[in-house]
Amino acid sequence: MTGFILAAGFGTRLNPITTHIPKALVPVAGKPLLARALDFLKNHGFESIGVNSHYLSAQIEQFRESSSITFKTFHEEKIRGTGGALYFARDFLAQDDIFFVLNVDIVCQFDLNPVIQFFKDSPFSCLLIAFKPYGGNGTVLFNKENGTYLGTTAETSSPSVCGADFIGAALYKREFLSLLTDDDFSIVPVWTRAFQNRMKTGVFLVQDGYWRDIGTPQALARVHLDVIRKVVNLDIPDCLFINSEKGYAVPRSISGQDFQSLENAWVESESIGASNVIINSVVFKNSVIDNLTPIYNSLVTPFGVICLDEYR
């Protein structure tokens, strides 16, 4: 099967981080988002992987050259959206009967294999992968009897209609590519076009797993807290040590210290000592901090400090 990772976006909500690095290379629990997306595809048997790029694309190329997982890049001179990205890479995507598309700015952990098997056996040309909503009615609607996608307006009183959160991951059959045009930007109108051309779009509701959209600093920080609390078991670099009982993560090189003032703290910088006060915060590697200034509700990066309204 063929996998495709959407990594061309600007990630403006994560400024100032994304002023300096592309969203795809924003670190999450010690690994770039793109590396985590590549791992997810590789672990599910995808051998042919494509990645689109636009903003700060030279850094994506540099990452590709050092990546242990091989992938092909599709550089877009202008940002094309999901619909345009798939059209631009249509020849690559058409090499297999089905292909999988994943947004780079999500962190997910679930078994994709049963979803793939369901899709192969289904009448759908496109299958949107969704989870139960964190709150509200969700972002996509579907018929709970047959899984048919019904739209994106999550307001209904019909007992036959369910809402779910689309996680930015979808499976497509090769025939779907015939619906795309060079004018497409958003993929949503193409899902509607599929219905008009008697191609069905479905929704698969994953019952067991984890996902998080890290498009905001608060969500990015929250993933780290989820790892500390063992809500999700992400692969983390060996250089990091997690103390879930006391609620912090620190470099293994300094893990023997008695940190009394770390609470809900993910710290990758080795320049901290036992006297540092870091609460409800994430400190990225290579960030400069001192032991005289307490850190509360912050995302501390080499490019600046972002205040967090929510983290717990």
Residues of the chain with pLDDT > 90, as a percent, come to 85
| Domain co-membership, 103 together with 202 | yes
Distance CA 129, CA 144 (A): 14
Distance CA 125, CA 122 (A): 8
DSSP state of 231: S
Tell me, yes or no, whether 203 lies in a domain: yes
- Is the confidence at residue 252, as pLDDT, over 90? yes
| Domain co-membership, 91 together with 127 | yes
| Domain co-membership, 146 together with 83 | yes
| Domain co-membership, 275 together with 163 | no
Domain of 175, in residue numbers: 2-213
pTM: 0.94
CA 151 to chain centre: 22
- Specify the number of domains making up the chain: 2
| Domain co-membership, 176 together with 300 | no
| Domain co-membership, 60 together with 162 | yes
Q: 163-216: per-residue pLDDT in tens? A: 999 999 999 999 999 999 999 999 999 998 998 899 999 999 999 999 999 999
Residues of the chain with pLDDT > 70, as a percent, come to 97
DSSP state of 90: H
Least confident of 83-92, 94-103, 157-166: 157-166
The chain-wide mean pLDDT, for the chain, equals 93
Mean pLDDT of 70-78: 97
Q: 125-176: per-residue pLDDT in tens? A: 999 999 998 767 789 999 999 999 999 876 556 778 889 999 999 999 999 9
| Domain co-membership, 303 together with 283 | yes
Distance CA 55, CA 76 (A): 9
Give the model's pLDDT for residue 310.
62
- Phi, psi angles (nearest 5°) of residue 62: -65, -40
Give the model's pLDDT for residue 282.
97
| Domain co-membership, 155 together with 243 | no
- Is the confidence at residue 260, as pLDDT, over 60? yes
Q: Quick one: tokens of 202?
A: 């479905």
List of residues 6+ apart from 260 with CB closer than 8 A:
274
| Domain co-membership, 192 together with 265 | no
Domain harbouring 17, CATH code: 3.90.550.10
Helix (H, G, I), strand (E, B) or coil at 189: helix
| Domain co-membership, 231 together with 276 | yes
Tell me, yes or no, whether 232 lies in a domain: yes
Mean pLDDT of 283-303: 90
Q: 207-223: per-residue pLDDT in tens? A: 999 999 999 999 999 99
Q: Are 22 and 56 in contact (CB under 8 A)?
A: yes
Tell me, yes or no, whether 312 lies in a domain: no
Q: Quick one: tokens of 278?
A: 């870091």
60 closest CA partner among 108, 135, 8:
8
